Amino acid sequence: MEAPSERTKLKRGSTRARYEREAILAILDEALFCNVAVDVGGHPAIIPTAFAILGDQLYVHGSTANRIFRAMRDGSECCVSVTLLDALVLARSAFHHSVNYRSVVIYGRAREVDDEVEKRAAFDALIEHVMPGRSAEVRAPNREEYLRTLVLAIPVDEASAKVRTGPPVEEEADYALDVWAGELPLRVVAEAPVADPQTKREVPAYVLARYEGLS
Amino acid sequence: MEAPSERTKLKRGSTRARYEREAILAILDEALFCNVAVDVGGHPAIIPTAFAILGDQLYVHGSTANRIFRAMRDGSECCVSVTLLDALVLARSAFHHSVNYRSVVIYGRAREVDDEVEKRAAFDALIEHVMPGRSAEVRAPNREEYLRTLVLAIPVDEASAKVRTGPPVEEEADYALDVWAGELPLRVVAEAPVADPQTKREVPAYVLARYEGLS
């Protein structure tokens, strides 16, 4: 499959590139947050932030007082990056040390979400993305909370993924070196839910399911 | 403590700000990679990449063929971001959902490391950062590998950290809602080391120590 644009086309390590929608969406689905970079007054700034996918859009939200979200709203070009770190890859040579990872980069401009129905759907999706089952249970945003929150949509369109898997790749001569080589797999796990001191309820089944899914 | 510059000063959530060097270095020490954003031909681009701290500098390295590392070398302003995600914070209202995290942002311009001794030290530090004890054992970079690798140093100077801990913070009235609230703690763990199919050695003690430290 071809890259959707010149800047999403991987120039190096191109065997690691993935441009298929399913590959991109699977990585986004697993990631718990993304990083967004925009130009803010003449220099780039990064914000790590929650996100959700609805249809062919990536949604983020933030305070109307935040200069990075305001720059996004005002039409600055965005770069969204998501990284899942899967393993440290330990080669026999310093040079060939690497990591196994799955990453996505999306370029585009954000659209401010004004429509009430879309904004509510985005709020729900942002919660569902990290905690499926929760959005129906919580108090929905009130008018003031909606006004204080910018919701922004970026098309998942000019997007590419990059995936590295497997053992180190060495110079042929280095395989003879008497140095251990291999991978140290990594993953994100959850620990047992910690109840708010003022909560009276039992931990809900969907929270336990998420905990188990991440352990 | 005061912010080192206007752009590192946290405007909102300023009780979460940390400007002390030790707080910043502790977060950097635990992080396995960083994200760097630079302007590349008129738009921001992010690269997730390995890093190391030596003295008061953050070192990254990459191919001389990579346009993001080349833009850094050529003097583009950089934003470096590191995020440790510690928990999902589940509030009774959609609006007050949050995460516990420790993050660092560093602004600055990169300096290309040409000096052979500093470049070698940076290579070692990049390996030691993720796998303490390994750099002495592996084959050092040869001349061609040095020439193909840009090593860049960014001062850890214009830096700030942001930390959120603890349970959700709700609107007073929302504490009465019959909705479970609390935290789902998260952490990165290692799984048992996977030997390269061609390795003949036992897993070294320092790899096992790192595995145990991350489990």
Q: pLDDT tens across B7-43, in order? A: 877 766 667 888 899 999 999 999 999 999 999 999 9
The tens digit of pLDDT for each residue in A110-159 reads 999 999 999 999 999 999 999 999 999 999 999 999 999 999 999 999 99
Look at residue A14 and tell me whether its pLDDT is greater than 80: no
Q: Which runs of consecutive H residues, i.e. helices, occur in chain B? A: 21-30, 67-73, 116-130, 143-148, 205-213
Residue range B55-104, pLDDT digits in tens: 999 999 999 999 999 999 999 999 999 999 999 999 999 999 999 999 99
- Report the largest interatomic distance among the alpha carbons of chain B, rounded to a whole angstrom: 67
Residues of B in contact with A209 (CB under 8 A): none
CB atoms within 10 A of CB B205: 9
CATH number of A14-188: 2.30.110.10
With CA atoms as reference, report the closest residue to A109 among A41, A39, A52. A39
Neighbouring residues of A107: CB distance < 8 A, sequence distance ≥ 6? A5, A7, A8, A77, A78, A79, A80, A158, A159, B43
A190 CB neighbours in chain B (<8 A) are 184-186
pLDDT of residue A2: 75
CATH architecture of B14-167+180-186: Roll (2.30)
pLDDT of A197 > 80? The answer is yes
* Domain ranges, ordered by start, for chain A: 14-188
Host H or E run for residue A211 = helix A205-213
Which residue, chain included where needed, has tokens 């909560």? Answer: A199
**Does the CB of A59 have a partner CB in chain B at under 8 Å?**
no
Reported as a pLDDT band with limits 50, 70 and 90, residue B146 is very high
* Least confident span in A112-121, A206-215, B2-11: B2-11
Give me the sheet containing A57-63, strands edge to edge.
A52-54, A57-63, A149-155, A111-112
Residues comprising chain B, all counted:
215
> Which three-class secondary structure state does DSSP give residue A128?
helix
Q: What angle do CA A70, A124, B98 make, to 5 degrees?
A: 65
* Predicted pLDDT at B13: 62
Provide the 10 A C-beta neighbour count for residue A71: 20
Kindly state whether B92 is in contact with chain A, defined as any CB-CB distance less than 8 angstroms. yes
Report residue A176: phi and psi, to 5°.
-80, -10
So what's the pLDDT on residue B12?
61
> For residue A143, what pLDDT is reported?
94
Within 8 A by CB and 6+ apart from B55, the residues are: none
* Prediction ipTM score: 0.94
Place A11 in a pLDDT band, splitting at 50, 70 and 90: low
- Radius of gyration from C-alpha coordinates of chain B: 20
User: Does residue A50 contact residue A59 with C-beta atoms inside 8 Å?
Assistant: no
Whether the CB-CB separation of A69 and A113 falls below 8 Å is answered with no
* Residue B134 banded pLDDT, cuts 50, 70, 90: very high
pLDDT tens-digit readout, A68-111: 999 999 999 999 999 999 999 999 999 999 999 999 999 999 99
What's the whole-model pTM score? 0.95
Q: Would the CB atoms of A99 and B33 count as touching at under 8 Å?
A: yes
- Determine contact: A81 vs chain B, CB below 8 A: yes
For chain B, the average pLDDT equals 95
Q: Residue A12 above 70 pLDDT?
A: no
Asked if B143 reaches chain A (Cβ–Cβ under 8 Å), the answer is no
